[in-house]
Amino acid sequence: MLRMPPFTVLNPSTVDEAMEQMLAAAGEARWLAGGTDINPNLKHRLLEPQALIALEGVGELRGVSVNEKGWLRLGAMTTLTEVAEHAQIQAQWPALAQAASLVSGPQLRNMGTIGGNVMLDTRCQWYNQTHFWRKSLGYCMKKDGTECHVIKGGSKCVAAASNDTAPALMTLDAEIEIASGDGRARMPLAELWQADGIWNRKLSPQELLVAIHLPPTAAKHHGAYGKLRDRGSIDFPLFGIAVRLDLDDAGKIAHAALCAVALQARPWPLKKVADALCGTTPGEQDFLDAVEQVAALAAKQCRPMPNIPGDHEYRHAMVPVYTKRTLFAAAAKAGPVHHL
């Protein structure tokens, strides 16, 4: 049986109180949201904080609302189930609702939060293992060791961003609201990430994600999320791709965005690739031709490594397949795409 290490749990009720507790802990505390990722990681001794600061009682971190300008605000502690089942999110930000609906399984979505998903630790088959297992291999550079087992002689950790909602949020131009010792700040989600699997965010573990803000989508916005995984009922992505298509009044694509996940340390926007879709009309031959072109370009840019489970050559072969399926699903306003 894997046991929890000893730690103290603090229960603030406001963001200010939470920040005071975090600063007082001088780097020895971590945030606890739904606990669905941090708890297994504690059991595997992947982190050993002296305290967890539970965010459950912080009211400001909860709730979904849309302001008078049409911006969606998601409190960081909003559960994935709430995001997946929210009728307005399904209608106006469909890729996000679909991505949330495909995270793990129902029980974990009831506990897991959108904030915990954005701030999810990167994953690697050499890292997400018990202490005994990791020790027997001399550890790895992400925790306790110096060597990378994915890329022999590699100098940078390539553990993969594996958070399903991140690519959908990226295509939707999400902004994040952060609390830190310096007060509050807001920044584009796209600026959060860095290419380092040890810690793939530019914010420190002490900074708090308060809320996610999404601009309103166009009247003719289409979006979808496609996810490759071993078991349709629970697994992390082996490859994930979010699609955004905004149509003009004539039905042509005026703006397109694509973002992939489960490849490398950062969610991976495919900006130039998506541009090939602009000016085409879903349902017409020019769109079908562009989809073929985009799928081929995505396969060139997305190069899965043997960092997460699943044969990486198979994952690579699935890149154009899932890119196409997800584009067709978005164009048809169909539901999420996933491998069963």
Ligand X SMILES: Cc1cc2nc3c(=O)[nH]c(=O)nc-3n(C[C@H](O)[C@H](O)[C@H](O)COP(=O)(O)OP(=O)(O)OC[C@H]3O[C@@H](n4cnc5c(N)ncnc54)[C@H](O)[C@@H]3O)c2cc1C
What does the binding site for ligand X look like in residue numbers (CB under 6 A)?
30-38, 40, 55, 76, 80, 103-104, 108, 111-113, 115-117, 119-121, 162-164, 208-209, 234-237
Q: What is the dihedral of CA 39, 130, 193, 81, to 10 degrees?
A: -40
Nearer to ligand X, 103 or 189 (CB): 103
Tokens of 176: 């994040």
Nearer to ligand X, 28 or 292 (CB): 28
Q: To the nearest whole angstrom, how small is the minimum distance from the Cβ of residue 39 to ligand X?
A: 6
Q: To the nearest whole angstrom, how small is the minimum distance from the Cβ of residue 278 to ligand X?
A: 29
Four-residue CA torsion sign, 160, 162, 166, 167? positive
Give the integer Cα–Cα distance in Å for 19 and 206. Answer: 8
Q: What SS3 state is found at 281?
A: coil
Q: To the nearest whole angstrom, how small is the minimum distance from the Cβ of residue 70 to ligand X?
A: 24
Q: To the nearest whole angstrom, how small is the minimum distance from the Cβ of residue 250 to ligand X?
A: 37
Taking CA atoms, 117 is separated from 78, 179, 180, 293, 334, in Å, by 11, 17, 19, 31, 24
Nearer to ligand X, 37 or 94 (CB): 37
Give the integer Cα–Cα distance in Å for 39 and 42. Answer: 5
Q: To the nearest whole angstrom, how small is the minimum distance from the Cβ of residue 3 to ligand X?
A: 17
| Residue that is written with structure tokens 């999404």 in the block | 214
Four-residue CA torsion sign, 284, 288, 290, 291? positive
Nearer to ligand X, 92 or 162 (CB): 162
Nearer to ligand X, 37 or 82 (CB): 37
Question: What Rg value do the Cα atoms of the chain yield, rounded?
Answer: 20
Nearer to ligand X, 92 or 163 (CB): 163
Residue nearest ligand X, CB atom distance? 116
Nearer to ligand X, 58 or 319 (CB): 58
Contact 321, 313 (CB under 8 A): no
Q: To the nearest whole angstrom, how small is the minimum distance from the Cβ of residue 249 to ligand X?
A: 36
Contact 162, 149 (CB under 8 A): no
Contact 157, 197 (CB under 8 A): yes
Q: To the nearest whole angstrom, how small is the minimum distance from the Cβ of residue 53 to ligand X?
A: 9
